[in-house]
Amino acid sequence: MNYSHLWIALAYLVLGPLLGGLLSGIDRKVTARMQGRMGPPLLQPFYDLRKLFSRRIDPVNALQYPLVASHLAFAVLTGFFIFLGGDLLLIIFMLTLSGVFLVLAAYSTGSPYGKIGADRELIVMMAYEPMVILTLVGLFRVTKSYDFWGIAGSGVPLALLLPGLLVGFAFTLIMKLRKSPFDLSTSHHAHQELVKGLTADMGGPMLGLVELAHWYESVYLYGLVFLFFSFNPLAAFLGPTVVYFLIILIDNSTARVKWEAALTAGWAIALVAGVGNLIPFYLRGLP
C-alpha cells in the first residue's frame, strides 16, 4: 500500500465537505453574477447546512434515515477508494449504489412527488452510466491502468488523445450534478425548492446528509476530470476549472428538458463522443 495515497484518501474524508461546500458557494456566487445579482456569501452553503442540522424533523418512516445514511456512506467510500488508488471500473459502481439508495429513500415515502423524482432519477442514471463506463475504458485503453494515481502519473495528454471522452464525461457531470437542462429529478434553483421531487419529503438533518453526499461527489467527480489534464501542472488547474465554469454557464442558460430528451442525449453522446473516440484506437492499436 502506498501510504502517501492513504493520507490523501484520509484527507479527502476530512476536507471533502469543505471543498465541496466551497464549490457550491462559488457556484451560487457565479450564478448570481450571471443573473445580475450580488448573490449570497461564499460560505452560505455552510450556513445552510448548519441550519439543516439544527432542525428537528421526524422522518416519514423508519426506512428514510438508514437509506439516506447509506447514500452518504457509499458516496464517501467511492471518493475514498478513488483517491486511495483502487480499481476505478469497480469503484464507480459504488457511486451507482449510492444513487440507488437515494432513489429508494424517495420511493419509501409513498409521496407522488418523491415517486416522480425517483423515477426521473433512475432515467437520468440510465442516461449517463454508459458514458461513464466508456470514459473509464478509454482511460485504461490509453494508460493501461484503472488506478487513479496510475492514470494521473502516466504523463499522457489524455485531453488531446481523448477529447471525445472528455466532452462526453463533462456532459455526464451536468446530469450527475443535477444541473439544467437535466435537473429532472430535483433542482437547486430557488423557484423549485417547494416541490423538489427526489427530496420533497426530506428535511432537517436528513436533507443535510443528502447535501453532504453531493459535496463529496462534486470533489471526486471533478477529480476524475483532472485526470484528463494531469500531464501538465498548469493544464491540471485550468482544465477542471474551465469545465466547472462551463457547466455553471450551461446550467444558467438552458431550460429543463423532458426525460425522453435526457435519455436520448445521454446515449447519443456516449455513441458519438465515446464510441467515436475509441474506435480509432481499436482499429490501429496502441504501441
Instruction: Quote the pLDDT of residue 192.
Output: 52
pLDDT digits (tens, 9 = 90+) for 101-123: 999 999 998 888 888 889 999 99
Contact by Cβ (8 Å): 257, 135:
no
pTM given for the model: 0.92
What are the pLDDT digits (tens) for 128-140?
999 999 999 999 9
Kindly state the cell numbers that stand for 188: 437547486
pLDDT at position 277, please?
A: 94
Q: Could you report the average pLDDT of every consecutive run of 10 residues in the chain (287 residues)?
A: 87 96 94 88 94 85 92 96 92 92 92 88 94 94 93 94 96 92 75 65 89 96 96 95 95 89 95 92 67
Q: Buried b vs exposed e over 104-127: b needs ≥16 C-beta within 10 Å?
A: bbbbbbebebbbbbbbbbbbbbeb
Greatest alpha-carbon pair distance for the chain in Å reads 61
Number of domains in the chain: 1
Instruction: Please give the residue range of the domain that contains residue 121.
Output: 3-284
Could you tell me if 202 and 72 are in contact, meaning their C-beta atoms sit under 8 angstroms apart? no
Query: Can you say whether the dihedral through the CA atoms of 223, 226, 227, 233 is positive or negative?
Result: negative
The one-character DSSP state at 61 is S
DSSP state of 147: B
